[in-house]
């Protein structure tokens, strides 16, 4: 039997089902509260950006087991009829509070809080984390590229070929757009998310022609509205000169060249030389686009060096979040049946109870966050918002443009020190109320 990996509830860890079997046998169905948070930021990062909430709400809304899926589980022989019956009726009926997508956040701050009957709140863990972890990774890395590009608008996600699978490719396009990218190379992202797409030719196109200039002209005739010439297949400066010739030839035929692309070599030196060749050839309006091993560091170094680059194709290092390919995130039980819960494992202890984060600003910049208990009203803006009640969304899905605008406002409000590539710690304080709850919960455990 083939189930759809993107939607099947079988995309989960076996222990979710064995635990459910325990809960169902015991009738443990009281309200549980779980929160997802990041224990520690990666050493190279000063902040993270939330993303992926819409896909989580989709997942929760349609979560159910088909008869075929239940039959498959029955055949494994692992599960009781009682559990299988329970799964046939299984739906997510809980409440969700979350950071809006595009929100900047820091360690220990809840990104999402699930309040639901224990088996439901437990079962959703694997896919919920799978969806949020990846999209947060990607949006956070893309946000750093956006900051490094310092207002230049031409960032394009180029990484599909090396994303970790198809779904990661789609989320890379969406998450980077949320963070401020202009476009993606991913055609499916255009169809699913209406993200602008971009791309023209590979080296193989040039190589398959007998002559580089001929390749340029043929390409332009076939794609007259979308001409970016890749000029580094053999020799970049020679390629730039051919781009000038080609451009004159094409202009006489009513076709404009929009840009040239460099994908190898010393991009600072070459972009300066190419700019000279283009300008001397009367192509001041033709833009320079670069790609190849781009990330926030490479972008910043090129721009700091004065490279006349108008746009960047950012691929593999963005789409695999190369410097930090995973986050130390955890989805932990904070409360069950009205009582706060706590894990004391070495190095992995948690803050118990339902939590909220208040963020203070000074002159439009974030000044510090306070992690406290839900209901303990403090100065600042509460970051977690209710987004789902009794299993139903509280509002229509946000448009990607709205989400991108939230992200832009957040990046604009980052403390100056966090806008830099080098990381600094942002102050996240723990409230008295939360400290007291942890102490009393620890004492109760003896």
Quote the CA–CA distance of 332 and 322 in Å, as a whole number.
27
Q: How far is the CB of 24 from its own copies (least distance, A)?
A: 8
What are the start-end ranges of the E strands in 52-182?
Answer: 95-98, 104-105, 112-117, 154-157
Tell the residue number behind the tokens 């692992």, with chain if given: 78
Phi, psi of 253 (to 5 degrees): -105, 15
Residues 6+ apart with CB under 8 A from 103: 49, 50, 383, 406, 410
Nearer to its own copies, 250 or 366 (CB): 250
Residue 190: how many other CB atoms lie within 10 Å: 16
Which of 85, 91, 93, 187 is the binder for its own copies (CB under 8 A)?
Answer: 187
Instruction: Name the minimum Å distance from CB 396 to its own copies.
Output: 17
Identity of the residue, 100 or 265, whose beta carbon is nearer to its own copies in the bound complex: 265
226 binds its own copies (CB under 8 A): yes
Instruction: Verify binding: residue 332, its own copies, rule CB under 8 A.
Output: yes
Report which of 317, 322, 6, 316 is spatially closest to residue 161, judged by C-alpha positions: 316
74 exposed, middle or buried (CB, 10 Å; 0-12, 13-18, 19+)?
Answer: middle
In the list 92, 158, 289, 351, the residue contacting its own copies (rule: CB under 8 A) is 158
Give the other-Cβ count within 10 Å of 59's Cβ. Answer: 20
Whether the CB-CB separation of 92 and 63 falls below 8 Å is answered with yes
CB of 191 to its own copies, least distance (A): 5
Task: Mark the segment that binds its own copies (CB under 8 A) among 71-79, 275-283, 375-383, 415-423.
Answer: 71-79
Q: Tell me the closest approach of the beta carbon of residue 129 to its own copies, in angstroms.
A: 4
Q: Which residues pair with 288 in a beta bridge?
A: 260
62 belongs to the binding site for its own copies (CB under 8 A) = no
182 binds its own copies (CB under 8 A): no
Cβ-contact 322, 42 below 8 angstroms: no
Beta carbon of residue 172, minimum distance to its own copies (angstroms, whole number): 9
The pair of three-digit structure tokens given for residue 231, joined into one six-digit string: 């000029």
Binding flag, residue 6, its own copies (CB under 8 A): yes
Q: Which two tokens stand for residue 62?
A: 């349609």
- Identified binder of its own copies from the candidate list 150, 202, 280, 425, rule CB under 8 A: 202
Please give the residues from 233 up to 292 whose contact with its own copies meets the rule CB under 8 A.
Answer: 233-235, 263-266
Long-range contacts of 300-303 (CB under 8 A, 24+ apart): 300/148, 300/421, 301/268, 302/267, 302/268, 302/271, 303/148, 303/149, 303/150, 303/152
Of 84-92, 107-115, 329-337, 388-396, the segment contacting its own copies by CB under 8 A is 329-337
Which x/- pattern over 337-356 shows residues binding its own copies (rule: CB under 8 A)?
x---xxxxxxxx--------
Report whether 178 contacts 139 (CB < 8 A): yes
Is residue 221 at the binding interface for its own copies, with CB under 8 A as the rule?
yes
**From the list 29, 61, 64, 72, which residue makes contact with its own copies (rule: CB under 8 A)?**
72
Q: Which is nearer to its own copies, 83 or 373 (CB)?
A: 83
Least Å from the CB of residue 364 to its own copies: 35
42: contact with its own copies by CB under 8 A: no
Give 239 or 426: the residue with its C-beta nearer to its own copies: 239
Q: Measured from the CB of residue 375, what is the shortest distance to its own copies in angstroms?
A: 22
Q: Which stretch binds its own copies (CB under 8 A): 174-182, 225-233, 353-361, 376-384?
A: 225-233
Q: Which of residues 353-392 bind its own copies (CB under 8 A)?
A: none
User: Of the listed pieces 179-187, 379-387, 397-405, 412-420, which binds its own copies according to CB under 8 A?
Assistant: 179-187
Q: Which stretch binds its own copies (CB under 8 A): 94-102, 201-209, 251-259, 353-361?
A: 201-209
Under rule CB under 8 A, which residues in 75-134 are in contact with its own copies? 76, 78, 80, 118, 122, 125-127, 129-131, 133-134
From the CA atom positions of the chain, what is the Rg in Å?
26
Out of 95, 246, 321, 410, the only residue in the binding site for its own copies (CB under 8 A) is 321
| DSSP assignments along 33-76, one per residue | EEEEEESS--TT-S-EE---HHHHHHHHHH----HHHHHHHHHH
**Contact indicator for 91, 388 with CB cutoff of 8 Å:** no
Residue 195 makes contact with its own copies by CB under 8 A: no
């Amino acid at each position: 039997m083939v189930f759809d990996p993107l939607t099947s509830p079988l995309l989960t860890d076996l222990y979710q089902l064995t635990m459910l079997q325990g809960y169902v046998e015991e009738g443990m169905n009281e309200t549980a509260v779980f929160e997802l948070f990041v224990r520690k930021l990666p050493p190279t990062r000063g902040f993270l950006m939330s993303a992926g909430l819409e896909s989580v709400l989709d997942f929760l809304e349609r979560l159910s087991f088909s008869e075929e899926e239940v039959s498959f589980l029955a055949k494994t022989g692992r599960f009781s009829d009682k559990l299988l019956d329970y799964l046939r009726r299984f739906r997510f009926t809980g409440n969700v509070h979350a950071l809006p997508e595009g929100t900047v956040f820091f360690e220990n701050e809840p990104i999402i809080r699930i309040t639901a009957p224990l088996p439901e709140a437990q079962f959703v863990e694997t896919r919920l984390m799978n969806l949020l972890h990846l999209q947060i990774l990607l949006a956070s890395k893309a946000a750093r590229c956006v900051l490094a590009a310092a207002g230049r608008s031409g960032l394009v996600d180029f990484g599909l070929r090396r994303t970790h699978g198809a779904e990661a490719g789609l989320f890379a396009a969406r998450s980077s757009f949320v963070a401020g990218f202009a476009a993606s190379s991913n055609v499916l992202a255009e169809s699913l998310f209406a993200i602008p797409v971009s791309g023209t030719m590979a080296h193989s196109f040039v190589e398959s022609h007998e002559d580089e200039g001929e390749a340029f002209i043929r390409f332009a005739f076939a794609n007259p509205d979308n001409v970016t010439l890749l000029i580094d297949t053999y020799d970049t400066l020679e390629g730039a000169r051919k781009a000038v010739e080609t451009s004159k030839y094409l202009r006489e035929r009513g076709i404009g060249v929009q840009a040239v692309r460099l994908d190898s070599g010393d991009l600072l030196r070459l972009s300066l030389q190419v700019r000279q060749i283009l300008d001397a050839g009367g192509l001041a309006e033709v833009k320079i686009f670069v790609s190849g091993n781009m990330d926030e560091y490479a972008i910043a170094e090129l721009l700091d060096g004065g490279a006349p680059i108008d746009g960047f194709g950012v691929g593999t290092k963005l789409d695999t979040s190369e410097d930090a390919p995973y986050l130390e995130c955890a989805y932990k039980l904070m409360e069950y049946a009205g009582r706060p819960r706590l894990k004391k494992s070495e190095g992995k202890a948690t803050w118990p109870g339902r939590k909220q984060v208040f963020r203070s600003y000074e002159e439009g910049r974030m000044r510090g966050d306070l992690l406290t208990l839900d209901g303990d009203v403090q100065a600042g803006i509460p970051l977690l918002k209710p987004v789902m009640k009794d299993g139903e969304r509280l509002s229509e899905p946000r448009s990607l443009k709205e989400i991108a605008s939230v992200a832009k406002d957040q990046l604009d409000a980052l403390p100056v020190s966090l806008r830099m590539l080098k990381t600094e710690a942002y102050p996240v304080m723990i409230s008295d109320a939360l400290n007291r709850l942890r102490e009393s919960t620890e004492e109760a455990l003896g």
